[in-house]
Amino acid sequence: MYPDYMQESLKLVERTRADRLKIAKSGEKVFKPMTEKERGEVLSKFHPDYKEDARREVRVGPNKGDKITTEVADLLESHSRIDSSLFDLANPAYETDVLIIGGGGAGCEAALFARNEGANVIISTKLRLGDSNSMMSQGGMQASVNPHDSPIIHYLDAMGGGHFDNKPDLVRALVTDAPMIVTWLEELGVMWDKGADGHYVTKAGGGTSRRRMLSARDYTGATIMRVLMDEVKSYPDDIKVMEFAPCVELIMDDKGQVAGGVLYDLDTEEYSLVKSKTTIITTGGFGRLHIKGFPTTNHYGATADGIVIAYRAGAKLLYMDSVQYHPTGAVYPEQILGFLVTEEVRGLGAQPVNKVGELFVFPLEPRDIEAAAFIRECLERDKGIKTHTGRVGVWLDSPIIDMLHGDGTIKRNLPAMVRQFSRFGIDITCEPMLIYPTLHYQNGGIEINERCETNLSNLYVAGEASGGVHGRNRLMGNSVLDYNVFGRRAGINAGQRSKQVKLGKLTLNHINRYEAELKNAGIKTDRISPILLPDYTPKEVKDRQLTAHYEGTLR
């Protein structure tokens, strides 16, 4: 139930619904899509990335001098958690062919394909296997599985969404591997949404020019992730999974190659060393940094750990100046602030409307454009709906979905959405959702090529931790595809490469070098990274923890 003060606006939404439904049913676009010029204007004036303080120059490391997202620059200009002199590098606790850092979608995928190449694998993961944003993806995965679609059109859509900054070879890999990935996942037992004839149900997404989104109801990520985890756990002799054991630094050798990682046991607080011939970083993104104070859709563990340790070792980052705000995060009720309202809702026909029930934007613009348009509607035009806690949002008119496609469509296609809102007394089949942009995705990351190689020997990256695939703005359904395509490629390439690698003497000197660089740049800070977990302990509590010593967020 929405509070009384929102009722008047809700009535206006209901009043305009019949007319909006008529336009939608006619097959016409319900609102005119923006031109290139209009897109540029709304982005530069309203997208949070374009605010004065959103970016700053990073003063150390491979991207020294580049302007990057302020919160990321802070994280990079921090001290290591460890004192390198305390480690006996001659006696690592574990040795393996391939070390995979991060147990989400890309990590599991990489593990399976590295194993296929005959490699032994260790997965180090901060929380449980599968604890990741991959598990949370709702809407779907893009693949050109319709006859009137093609990898070419998929390529163009992805490039346009990314404002043509995407690395062409990566996009090419993404779109050409996609249909094969669909089949591979299905052979493992992923239940895609299909018609009676077996043809995949496809939906439109923001910035796509065809219906290209395959889905598994609105549990797409979870459906895939559970199958991948089940597979990973099927080969305990070849794939060792170390949970609650995040990697806090990479290990190098005296030839400058990456040679493993330092793990930290979150339960017992012990450190251990893994020596590995090749290393794959699949740690995902940075939503839990709460950039510019935004709430986030991201997993508790999304703290950019992989970016930090790779950067300290000398890996180059790409597009770390760009943050994706998902246009539709929940604003009301306060308990689910920032919750993802999947793009599938708009894909099915739900319309964003303002406080007087008017359409104000084409519902399926690319995410950054759509998000900026919502912010404009609320801040500049004052047509948003305010909540009692001082937040503001626009309506996403979901009931229109059932009117367009028949009763029961919402319940059948969006069970997770119905469930989330009903826990708080809101029935999205007959009431709209109140939404506002929420921090969603790290567009940039560690630069890779189409083989998932970085500028460091033996270091591979896949999934959200990598940068270049999506340019400066990812389209819906391309992240699930990304971790599948590049997780697979990283696994194959790192697995094969591990057969040829000759490691030298292990060293952690790069950490000392980085410390020296911080000092030379005159950076004085008590920050420690990777932070591993977000900091939600209230200040009053911390003030009373008189004997606690915080290492980053952990005490």
14 vs 186 by CB, closer to other proteins: 186
Using CB under 8 A as the binding rule, whether residue 213 contacts other proteins is answered as: no
- DSSP run (H or E) holding 202: strand 202-203
Report in angstroms how near the CB of residue 36 gets to other proteins at its nearest: 6
Q: Which of 51, 199, 381, 513 binds other proteins (CB under 8 A)?
A: 199
Which 435-494 positions form the footprint of other proteins (CB under 8 A)?
Answer: none
Stretches 45-53, 58-66, 195-203, 368-376: which one binds other proteins (CB under 8 A)? 195-203
Using CB under 8 A as the binding rule, whether residue 210 contacts other proteins is answered as: yes
- DSSP run (H or E) holding 478: helix 478-497
Instruction: Please identify which of the residues 20, 346, 367, 489 carries the catalytic annotation.
Output: 346
- Positive or negative torsion for Cα 89, 129, 106, 54: negative
Q: Going residue by residue from 106 to 145, which x/- string records binding to other proteins, judged by CB under 8 A? A: ---------------------xx-xx-x-xx-------xx
Q: Which of 188, 356, 379, 430 binds other proteins (CB under 8 A)?
A: 188
Using CB under 8 A as the binding rule, whether residue 12 contacts other proteins is answered as: no
Report in angstroms how near the CB of residue 468 gets to other proteins at its nearest: 13
Place of tokens 């500049």: 380
User: C-alpha 75: how far from its chain's center?
Assistant: 18
Place of tokens 């923006």: 34
Are 454 and 460 spatial neighbours (Cβ–Cβ below 8 Å)?
yes
Instruction: Please identify which of the residues 39, 212, 326, 497 carries the catalytic annotation.
Output: 326
> Cβ neighbours of residue 467 under 8 Å, at least 6 residues apart?
317, 318, 319, 320, 443, 444, 445, 446, 447, 448
Are 446 and 320 spatial neighbours (Cβ–Cβ below 8 Å)?
no
Measured CA to CA in angstroms, residue 246 lies from 273, 315, 444, 460 at distances of 11, 19, 22, 17
Q: Which residues pair with 79 in a beta bridge?
A: 528
Using CB under 8 A as the binding rule, whether residue 88 contacts other proteins is answered as: no
Report in angstroms how near the CB of residue 211 gets to other proteins at its nearest: 6
Per DSSP bridges, beta strands 247-253 and 506-507 are antiparallel
Using CB under 8 A as the binding rule, whether residue 23 contacts other proteins is answered as: no
Q: Which of 65, 147, 293, 522 binds other proteins (CB under 8 A)?
A: 147
Give catalytic status of residue 423 as yes or no. Answer: no
Give catalytic status of residue 326 as yes or no. Answer: yes
Angstrom distance (rounded) from CA 550 to CA 555: 4
Report in angstroms how near the CB of residue 553 gets to other proteins at its nearest: 8
Report in angstroms how near the CB of residue 536 gets to other proteins at its nearest: 4
Using CB under 8 A as the binding rule, whether residue 96 contacts other proteins is answered as: no
> Cβ neighbours of residue 193 under 8 Å, at least 6 residues apart?
200, 201, 214, 215, 216, 217, 413
Q: Which of 44, 116, 150, 509 binds other proteins (CB under 8 A)?
A: 150
Q: Which of 168, 382, 427, 505 binds other proteins (CB under 8 A)?
A: 168
Q: Going residue by residue from 39 to 58, which x/- string records binding to other proteins, judged by CB under 8 A? A: --------------------
Half-sphere CA count of 474, side-chain side, radius 13 A? 33
Q: Which of 159, 291, 371, 375 binds other proteins (CB under 8 A)?
A: 159
Report in angstroms how near the CB of residue 89 gets to other proteins at its nearest: 28
- DSSP run (H or E) holding 87: none
180 vs 379 by CB, closer to other proteins: 180
Which 318-347 positions form the footprint of other proteins (CB under 8 A)?
Answer: 334-336, 339-340
Q: Which of 87, 113, 155, 395 binds other proteins (CB under 8 A)?
A: 155
Using CB under 8 A as the binding rule, whether residue 512 contacts other proteins is answered as: no
Q: Which of 41, 43, 67, 39 is nearest to 55 (CA)?
A: 67
Angstrom distance (rounded) from CA 288 to CA 439: 9
Q: Which of 110, 179, 191, 98 is nearest to 145 (CA)?
A: 179
Which 223-262 positions form the footprint of other proteins (CB under 8 A)?
Answer: 223, 226-227, 230-231, 233-234, 236, 244
Q: Which of 16, 84, 176, 457 binds other proteins (CB under 8 A)?
A: 176
Are 46 and 369 spatial neighbours (Cβ–Cβ below 8 Å)?
no
The catalytic residues are: 326, 346
